């Protein structure tokens, strides 16, 4: 049995298979998931697991160099946005690198999920609780 925090086999496998600049998305319960992306559905019920819980576990295992958010999160979900920004800053310190943060329209965000290796669906039911993470390297 794995000793690390991440126990979900599908999520662990997709993170292990990422190469430099490959991406994966963490999504709320309502984001449409394109047929071209692998769906990893963790949602059990509203709010379980939360977006931030999934984000925390994924980023414990994944080296991140870039992230994309929908511009709308700033206005429509400011509390989650500020919390997420704080967690990204902590992640930068833990990893010892700068994480480039980009904002795009929600429509453009949905288009970008078409090229992610996977979309991990959380049970989050708050607006625009979605992020695309791009893999960095540890060396």
Catalytic positions, please?
20
117 to each of 8, 39, 48, how far by Cα in Å? Answer: 16, 9, 23
Instruction: Tell me how far apart the alpha carbons of residues 23 and 88 are, in angstroms, rounded to a whole number.
Output: 16
| Among the listed residues 100, 138, 109, the one whose alpha carbon sits nearest the alpha carbon of residue 37 | 109
| CB 113, CB 25: distance < 8 Å | yes
Dump strand ranges (E) for the chain. 23-27, 38-41, 64-70, 100-104, 118-121, 131-135
Residue 63 and residue 95 in contact, taking contact as beta carbons nearer than 8 Å = yes
């Amino acid at each position: 049995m794995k000793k690390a925090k991440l126990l979900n086999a599908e999520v662990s496998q997709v993170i292990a298979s990422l190469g430099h600049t490959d991406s994966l998305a963490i999504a709320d319960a309502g984001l449409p998931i394109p047929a071209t992306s692998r769906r990893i559905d963790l949602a059990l019920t509203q709010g379980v697991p939360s977006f931030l819980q999934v984000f925390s576990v994924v980023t414990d295992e994944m080296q991140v160099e870039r992230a994309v958010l929908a511009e709308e999160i700033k206005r429509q979900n400011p509390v989650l946005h500020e919390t997420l920004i704080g967690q990204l800053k902590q992640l930068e310190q833990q990893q010892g690198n700068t994480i480039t943060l980009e904002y795009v329209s929600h429509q453009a965000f949905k288009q970008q999920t078409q090229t992610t290796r996977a979309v991990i669906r959380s049970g989050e039911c708050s607006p625009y609780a979605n992020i695309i993470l791009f893999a960095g390297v540890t060396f």
